[in-house]
Each structure stands twice: as structure tokens, then as C-alpha cells.
Amino acid sequence: MAMDKKQVNKYFEGYVFLQRSRKGEEFNLYLELSPDTWYYFNYTKGVMRCLSSKEDFNNIIVTLKDEKREAKSSKNDGPYTFLLGTEIALKKFLNTVRDN
């Protein structure tokens, strides 16, 4: 992976979880770069929820105007938006994957 034209190779903890149910598909991604630095993403039904231990990351999402957090849909794709996630959802996800 490259960031700002610099190669980055690092191992870290994380979980990827894809679930299909009658309600639809749900995708979860948790990346833990260190115990103090983590990112959580949940996508379902055109809504991406994002949460981080880094407040500057969360503040970017919170302060964006609604129209900047939405992508217009095309004929083949549905609408897409992203929001700040919740710690309750993160804890529920981590309990689910760690219990398995």
C-alpha cells in the first residue's frame, strides 16, 4: 500500500466480516493499528458508518455538510451516504467476532 507516494507495509490486528441475511448484506471492517489507534467501518443498504479512536477522523465526518456525505445514484447503483458510527455498534461487532 502507498500513502503520499511512500510504501507502507505493516502487520496489524483486524477483522473483516461479511454477513448475508434476509435483511440484506452487511460488511464490517475493524483495523487496530495499536491499542490506542483503531478504525471501524460498517456498510449496509447504502450507508457506511465509520468510527475511530482518533477524534480528528470522527470530526471530519461530523462537520461535513449532508450533501458532501452523499453520492448521487446512477441507474445501476443505489444511493450512498456515510455517517459517524457508534461505540455500541463497535462493541457489539467485536463481541460477535471475538466469541467465534
Domain map (residue ranges) of the chain: 12-99
pLDDT at 95 over 90: yes
Cβ atoms < 10 Å from Cβ of 90: 19
Q: Residue 71: beta bridge partners?
A: 80
C-alpha to C-alpha distance for 13 and 11, rounded to whole angstroms: 7
Residue keyed to cell 461505540: 87
Using an 8 Å Cβ cutoff, are 40 and 83 in contact? Answer: no
List, for residues 26-40, the tens digit of each pLDDT value. Answer: 999 999 999 999 999
How confident is the model over 42-93, as pLDDT tens digits? 999 889 999 999 999 999 999 988 877 887 766 667 778 889 999 999 999 9
Pairing relation of β-strands 80-84 and 47-52? parallel
Decide if 97 contacts 17 (C-beta within 8 A). Answer: yes
pLDDT score for 22: 87
Q: Write down the pLDDT at residue 64.
A: 87
